[in-house]
Structure 1
Amino acid sequence: MAEKKQPEVKINKWDASALKNSLDDSVKDVLIGQYKYTENFSVIDGRLMICTLAVGLAGFALGWDYFYPFPKSRPVLIVCVLGYFILMGILTLYSKYIEKGIFCIAKERARGGLGPDIVWKGSSSLKRFDDKYSLTISRNDSEVTRVASVGNFFDSKGVLVKSAILEQVSTMHMELEKRNQ
């Protein structure tokens, strides 16, 4: 059976968000695909829950105003608008203090199925107008951070060099494994 060939990732190398997103996706592919860890969506689910509540509140205000036009709906609209802005404030705090740039949470089953699972997290940052990609991989309570130029991971045409990502993540992974033995 032929191995499925993944398409090459080609981006506009001057678009910082495209650079960061493609690097993040590649690191996630290594953790989930190469190491066969199970992805955990709890952080993303928390963000989606807050957003769903905010949209639900806005939808409720819209429906209430439809059935009870403006002068009658004013108190409900005020409460819904204030609630929406409070939820957006909570979302901002959640993104800053809980997500912390985390783009991947993966769980490694404990050996023999006994004991707690090992949690791997991948987080990154790429400052605006900077070529330094900061990648942090953590395993339970220890972490390793590497800062490298995005030019190390893309060729001159803007094609992602997956072997460079694999090498970087594997090195960081081995360092955390050794540290936690």
Structure 2
Amino acid sequence: MAKDSSVQDKDKPVKINKWDSSAVKNALDDAVKEVLTKKFNYVENFKLMDGRLVMCGIAVGVAMFALLWDYLYPFPQSSCVLLFCVITYFVMMLILTLYTTYKEKGIFVVTIQKDPAGFVPDNIWEASSYIKKYDDKYNLVLSCKDGKTGTLREASLVKSVANFFDDSGMLIYEVLEPEISKLHNSLLSDRKEK
């Protein structure tokens, strides 16, 4: 008999190099994403990441067009087209940088809490995080945009990464999951109080 996929994910231990802050952050982010999508059964929304992929796709398409044009019409003939493509590529990279800095803002997952009856508009949950360089504090911000009222509520968590990993670098899911659930439930209770 096959195991449920959510049970399998918890059974697979996540082991990382605890001195690699990027690996630590990514492991914690993946665990937070798993809690939102598997435990609370929220549907992941990829629109934010799709925006980045579209911009990257346009930039790569422009670069490929420049390569093809230069192959068909060698350099002296293709100089104007190459100049246009190079400028377009750098403009796309500037737009991408602005998009990731001001629109994404460290958001690594966007999920949708659908109303089972379908009468109330969906709530949007976003999770963003960061770890400062040479710091052991994991900063997590969980936000919920109420579909009915449009109000945005946020809750944050700042804890040492040592709380969530053992000495060998294994993620202790049983310690992280209650912290995420507590943040999540505090946002739900805020909504009920208002």
Instruction: Report the Cα offset of residue 71 of structure 1.
Output: 0.3
Q: Percent identity?
A: 49
Instruction: Report the Cα offset of residue 37 of structure 1.
Output: 0.5
The one of 23, 27, 33 aligned to 1:22: 27
- In the alignment, the residues of structure 2 paired with residue 35 and residue 71 of structure 1 have an alpha-carbon distance, to the nearest angstrom, of 60
Q: Which amino acid aligns with 1:160?
A: L
| Secondary structure of the corresponding residue to residue 113 of structure 1 | coil
The one of 154, 159, 176 aligned to 1:143: 154
Indicate the residue corresponding to 2:166 in structure 1: 155
1:164 is aligned to 2:169: no
> CA offsets per residue over residues 100-145 of structure 1, 9 Å max, x none?
0000000011242112101011100011111000000001011101
1:117 is aligned to 2:122: yes
> CA offsets per residue over residues 138-168 of structure 1, 9 Å max, x none?
0101110111000010011100000111011
| Secondary structure of the corresponding residue to residue 159 of structure 2 | strand
> CA offsets per residue over residues 46-90 of structure 1, 9 Å max, x none?
000000000000000000000000000000000000000000000
Any gaps of 5 or more consecutive residues in structure 1? Answer: none
- In the alignment, the residues of structure 2 paired with residue 41 and residue 108 of structure 1 have an alpha-carbon distance, to the nearest angstrom, of 14
1:87 is aligned to 2:92: yes
Superposition misfits of 4+ residues, deviation over 4 angstroms: none
| Secondary structure of the corresponding residue to residue 171 of structure 2 | coil
Q: CA RMSD in A?
A: 1.0
| Secondary structure of the corresponding residue to residue 112 of structure 1 | coil
**TM-score of the superposition, structure 2-length normalised?**
0.91
| Secondary structure of the corresponding residue to residue 143 of structure 2 | strand
Any gaps of 5 or more consecutive residues in structure 2? Answer: 146-151
> CA offsets per residue over residues 16-73 of structure 1, 9 Å max, x none?
0000000000000000000000000000000000000000000000000000000000
- In the alignment, the residues of structure 2 paired with residue 77 and residue 129 of structure 1 have an alpha-carbon distance, to the nearest angstrom, of 42
- In the alignment, the residues of structure 2 paired with residue 2 and residue 65 of structure 1 have an alpha-carbon distance, to the nearest angstrom, of 55
| Secondary structure of the corresponding residue to residue 134 of structure 1 | strand
Indicate the residue corresponding to 1:65 in structure 2: 70
**TM-score of the superposition, structure 1-length normalised?**
0.97
Instruction: Give the total of aligned pairs.
Output: 181
